[in-house]
Amino acid sequence: MRVVLQRAKQASVTVAGETVGAISHGYVLLVGVTHEDSEAQADWLADKIAGMRLFEDDEGKMNRGLQDVGGSILSVSQFTLYADTKKGRRPSFIEAARPDQAEPLWEYFNERLRSHGLAVETGRFGAMMDVQLINDGPVTIILEK
């Protein structure tokens, strides 16, 4: 699994003009799943993200976690994170898991985040989504397991 984490001041996802997920501040997670991924990878990533300290304390150091600042998560499935651009001009997505594997694992990942007491909003799997965010910092981190 591959996750692009962006610390956000606010973020939302709309599908066909309808807002399906929104947060006021926290993390936007773009989540990609590949063929070899299992619940073990989802567990590790959810635990890692839940424990990360990416918000500044009173001294300006990244010492506060998501729960410390009352933040939320907006999780968006993103198969294009597994794009292969080595050949040609059009990416191949053969490394991305098929929807019947990716969707349940993405849902499991989101539930695992919730098990840490985190508020998790989501996009809509497989839909054409408009994702809006105000990146805070900017802080962007790539995690992979």
What is the distance between the alpha carbons of residues 138 and 76, in angstroms, rounded to a whole number? Answer: 19
Question: How is domain 2-85+97-144 classified at the architecture level of CATH?
Answer: 3-Layer(bba) Sandwich (3.50)
- Confidence (pTM): 0.96
CB proximity list for 103: less than 8 A, separation 6 or greater: 77, 125, 126
pLDDT tens, position by position, 44-66 = 999 999 999 999 999 999 999 99
Token pair of 15 as six digits: 């599908």
Per-residue pLDDT of the chain (145 residues; tens, 9 = 90+): 999 999 999 999 999 999 999 999 999 999 999 999 999 999 999 999 999 999 999 999 999 999 999 999 999 999 999 999 999 999 999 999 999 999 999 999 999 999 999 999 999 999 999 999 999 999 999 999 9
Instruction: Answer yes or no: 19 catalytic.
Output: no
* Omega before residue 138 within 30° of 0, cis: yes
Instruction: Answer yes or no: 78 catalytic.
Output: yes
Instruction: Answer yes or no: 101 catalytic.
Output: no
Catalytic residue among 6, 34, 41, 78: 78
